């Protein structure tokens, strides 16, 4: 089972919010997640509000989960 840390889209049309989740690599974007690690939200001015449990992210990376390129860039892993 190959795990990946990636974004899952939530929110209304035009007000996108994202969750940082651990999922099996072959699952669809909005499918069931193994664990929700936090949330990201775009704010006015292009800033990104982050609420992510970095301890859990580090744990999942240590057991073999691969972060997606977008998550790697946002979380500076």
The class of domain 3-69 in CATH terms is alpha beta
Which tokens belong to 1? 């089972």
CA 77 to chain centre: 12
- How does pLDDT run across 31-60, given as a tens digit for each residue? 788 999 999 887 777 777 889 999 999 999
Please state the pTM of the whole predicted model.
0.84
C-alpha–C-alpha distance, residues 72 and 77, integer Å: 5
Contact 34, 21 (CB under 8 A): yes
- How does pLDDT run across 5-21, given as a tens digit for each residue? 999 988 888 788 899 99
Domain range annotation of the chain: 3-69
């Amino acid at each position: 089972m190959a795990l990946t840390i990636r974004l899952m889209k939530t929110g209304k049309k035009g007000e996108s919010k994202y969750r940082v989740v651990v999922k099996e690599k072959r699952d669809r974007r909005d499918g069931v997640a193994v664990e929700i690690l936090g949330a990201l939200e775009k704010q006015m001015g292009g800033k990104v509000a982050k609420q992510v449990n970095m301890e859990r992210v580090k744990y999942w990376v240590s057991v073999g989960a691969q972060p997606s390129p977008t998550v790697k860039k946002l979380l500076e892993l």
